[in-house]
Amino acid sequence: MFLAEVGSTDARFKTIKFHDGLNLLVAERTEDSRQGDSRNGTGKSSFIRILRYVLGGNLPDEFKSPELAGHSFSASLSSDRAAMASARVVRPTSPTTKLSVSGWNGSDNAASEHVDDWRRLLGKLAFSLPEDTSRPTPGQLWGQLIHTSFGNPVKSHPSESDWETGVKLGYLLGLDVDVLNGAGEVARLEKQRRAIKGVIKEGAIGHLNLDEADLRAKLAGLRRQRDRMRQSLQDFQVDEAYGAHQRIADSHSAEIREINDESLGLERRARDLARAIETDVASNNASLLSDKLEKTYAEINLVLPEMVSRRFEEVAAFHASVVRNRRTFLEDELRLALSRLVELAQRRTDLDRRRAEILVLLQDSVALDTFLDAQRSLAELEAGVAETERRLESAMAVGKIDTTVQTVTANTVASVRAEVQDRADSLERPISLFSELGQEIYKDRSARLLISTSPKGVFQVRPEIDGDASDGIKGVATFLLDMVCLIRALEIGRAPRILVHDSHLFDAVDHRQVASCLNIGARLADEHGFQYIVTMNSDFLKSVESEGAFSRDDYLVDTVITDATENGGIFGFKFV
């Protein structure tokens, strides 16, 4: 995929046309210009944000200005250099969820698309992303090829997690995306474990003791006391004149205990059924899930790949029927359980009444007091046993999370290490190219591309250049990493033929090193058939040319932007 031009429906906007190889978009700056004036000055950085927006990104805050209301930005794309204008995409600033595409698949008619569909299409056509994968997203991959964040060479966005970074770079370097995504499952389980233990530590679940051994010992002791008390009650004898009444009372008490045991089990089952019904309703609300997915991914500037949402929609109807059947079954079971509880409660009431009538006859007996005390003690012991059993179940559930995390982590680490080993030969090329290009830029420094697997199964890529950790060296490391990742991805059909760098990438880089980077970019773009687009201020470029062996002549785009006049910038007018 190549970029032919970027424009706007506003006639004042300066349309920028691009050619093969290195493209220099130079901003002519006056002596009064200040760093960071791009928004109300030339707009070279705005061009990059426009491109990201047209390619499915979120609307930048600076484009929410009233002066841009009604604006639409456009880009012409092609699948090869022989057809540089085979498709035109137009996306308005409002609504941001809709855009139109024309010229795609040989049709000149503009078709309205939802931005999510456009993202999925780009994921398939530009990056060959599998339909059933959630990471990397097209937005993350575009973020690596069209930088708007320069704090970290490997990050598309400051909020991007380490495991997502590993999946993104690993995909560009040719690794199996399913293997790489295992680190995401580890991260999810780790987050779940931390949340549970955090709640316990803060005292929100004060009764929960996680010491399984202590709970087992306590439970064994309580059960032993309960069994002894039951035996004592079975052996209890009252005065012979009241023996028959005692036996009836014992029988009623035994039946009441059985009813209590059955009721306890039914109450637990009823709670579980009600919880299952509630969970099914909450977790299987397709509309709610869809809204939640869209909101979550929009907030963190991430997008879903094409088939994740599509398959969700395709199976939603079938899944809804499954959910209804399951819910009907659960509701029937719940009604049966509640009905049985009502029957047991009525039977227990009748038995209590009958037993009370019999006990009235035994009130004058000393043995009756002992019997009643023993019954109360037994009831307390049985309640203690039930409570301890619940605590042990909770402790075992938390312990199972620890075991699951350890197992999944070990399996993920082994899988990623095996994948890196299997791809060792294909990884040698980008690793060696990184070092070669680094040596070309810095004669007195060595550059290394370090690839490893973290203890959590995260695929790690670390670009390193000898020397201090200055912004200048970081900028060169970003340049080298982007170059080797794009070249490797092009070899295996996992990237479009576009790489864009804003001048901010080179702000702190020595001018001679910038000249080397531009020469390398131009050479590699010609050798591997991609477009390398760089925005740069005229004064900075002049210094690069005077201090390094580089000439702009063959690489300038035709469009000239300047901050010397009100209409000289890319928008054709200034706005706040």
For 182-220, b/e burial (b = at least 16 CB within 10 A) is: bbbbbbebeeeeeebeeebeeeeeeebbbeeeebeebbe
The mean per-residue pLDDT over the stretch 196-207 comes to 58
Rounded distance between C-alpha atoms, residue 424 and residue 10, angstroms: 51
Tell me what pLDDT residue 36 has: 46
Tell me what pLDDT residue 225 has: 86
* Cα–Cα separations (whole angstroms), residue 366 to 229, 253, 544: 19, 19, 108
Helices 138-145 + 162-172 axis angle, to 10: 70
Tell me what pLDDT residue 366 has: 41
The mean per-residue pLDDT over the stretch 133-138 comes to 93
Q: 46: closest CA among 36, 56, 32?
A: 36
Contact 181, 161 (CB under 8 A): no
Number of other CB atoms surrounding residue 86 within 10 Å: 18
Q: Collapsing DSSP states into helix, strand and coil, what is residue 353?
A: helix
Decide if pLDDT at 286 tops 60: no
Q: Burial level of 472, CB count in 10 A (0-12/13-18/19+)? A: middle
Domain residue extents for the chain? 2-175+423-562, 212-400
Model confidence at 306, pLDDT cuts 50, 70, 90, reads low
112 φ, ψ to 5°?
Answer: -75, 135
The mean per-residue pLDDT over the stretch 273-280 comes to 76
How is the beta sheet containing 22-28 ordered, strand by strand?
498-501, 531-537, 22-28, 561-562
Tell me what pLDDT residue 473 has: 93
The mean per-residue pLDDT over the stretch 327-337 comes to 82
Number of other CB atoms surrounding residue 223 within 10 Å: 16
**Higher confidence at residue 54 or residue 293?**
54
When computed from its CA atoms, the radius of gyration of the chain, rounded to whole angstroms, is 35
* Pair of tokens at residue 89: 């995409």
Q: 4: closest CA among 21, 14, 15, 17?
A: 17
Tell me what pLDDT residue 576 has: 59
What is the CATH superfamily name and number for domain 2-175+423-562? P-loop containing nucleotide triphosphate hydrolases (3.40.50.300)
Decide if pLDDT at 37 tops 50: no
Decide if pLDDT at 301 tops 60: no
Model confidence at 204, pLDDT cuts 50, 70, 90, reads very low
pTM > 0.75: no
* Cα–Cα separations (whole angstroms), residue 529 to 7, 26, 145: 24, 22, 15
pLDDT exceeding 70 applies to what percent of the chain? 82
User: Cβ contacts of residue 561 below 8 Å, gap of 6+?
Assistant: 14, 25, 26, 27, 28, 42, 43, 44, 568, 569, 570
DSSP annotation of 103 reads S
Tell me what pLDDT residue 30 has: 73
Tell me what pLDDT residue 83 has: 44
Model confidence at 288, pLDDT cuts 50, 70, 90, reads low
Residue bearing tokens 């029957």 = 343
Tell me what pLDDT residue 319 has: 59
Tell me what pLDDT residue 84 has: 42
Using one digit for the tens of pLDDT, what is the confidence trace for 505-545?
999 999 999 999 999 999 999 999 999 999 999 999 999 99
Q: 460: closest CA among 470, 449, 451?
A: 451
Using one digit for the tens of pLDDT, what is the confidence trace for 310-329?
555 665 566 567 667 777 88
* Cα–Cα separations (whole angstroms), residue 314 to 79, 130, 311: 29, 17, 5
**Higher confidence at residue 44 or residue 309?**
44
Lowest mean pLDDT among 96-100, 356-360, 529-533, 557-561: 356-360
The mean per-residue pLDDT over the stretch 426-430 comes to 96
Decide if pLDDT at 430 tops 50: yes
What angle is formed at CA 429 by the lines to CA 425 and CA 434, rounded to 5 degrees?
A: 140
Tell me what pLDDT residue 566 has: 84
Tell me what pLDDT residue 285 has: 60
Tell me what pLDDT residue 477 has: 95
Tell me what pLDDT residue 208 has: 58
CATH of domain 212-400: 1.10.287
Tell me what pLDDT residue 198 has: 66
* Average pLDDT in the chain: 84
Lowest mean pLDDT among 114-123, 182-191, 192-201: 192-201
Q: Collapsing DSSP states into helix, strand and coil, what is residue 185?
A: helix
Alpha helices in 2-137 (DSSP H): 44-54, 115-127
Helix or strand run (H / E) with residue 181: none
Tell me what pLDDT residue 76 has: 92
**Higher confidence at residue 242 or residue 550?**
550
Q: Burial level of 486, CB count in 10 A (0-12/13-18/19+)? A: buried
